[in-house]
């Protein structure tokens, strides 16, 4: 019985550790960083380069606010001006309302031409859009 508990605990820990960070890939499929479930953004070397806070604030590596994601998907710069929006279907628009890309449900990130520019599987669409289109941390 004890061996079964240890085995189940090991499985849970392995699954939990895999769910804590999602690898971000560039267009060639190479890792360019990670976004952890708590919002921490890491570069390909594992160093923290930013963070998505639970209130929508986007921070750089030194902790300064560089933008915000509103609950409706509007992305704002540090001055509070709208610089874009992520719609519910994953379409990403710039501040003028023009489509500049899309974050698909499987995490594929495409530019306005439909070409894949990266992959953020398991990452919130608004975080992936902010990462690839508005605040490139890679």
Domain boundaries, the chain: 20-134
Give this prediction's pTM: 0.82
Residue-level pLDDT at 18: 43
pLDDT tens per residue, range 71-95: 999 999 999 999 999 999 999 999 9
End-to-end CA distance of the chain: 47
């Amino acid at each position: 019985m004890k061996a079964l508990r240890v085995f189940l605990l090991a499985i849970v820990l392995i699954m939990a550790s895999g769910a804590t960070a999602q690898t971000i890939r560039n267009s060639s499929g190479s890792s360019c960083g990670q976004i952890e479930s708590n919002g921490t953004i890491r570069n390909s070397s594992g160093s923290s380069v930013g963070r998505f806070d639970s209130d929508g604030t986007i921070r750089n590596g030194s902790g300064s606010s560089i933008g915000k994601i509103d609950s409706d998907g509007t992305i704002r710069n540090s001055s509070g001006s709208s610089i874009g929006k992520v719609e519910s279907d994953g379409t990403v628009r710039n501040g003028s309302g023009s489509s500049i890309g899309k974050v698909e449900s499987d995490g594929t990130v495409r530019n306005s031409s439909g070409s894949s520019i990266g992959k953020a599987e398991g990452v919130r669409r608004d975080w992936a859009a902010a990462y690839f289109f508005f605040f490139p941390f890679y």
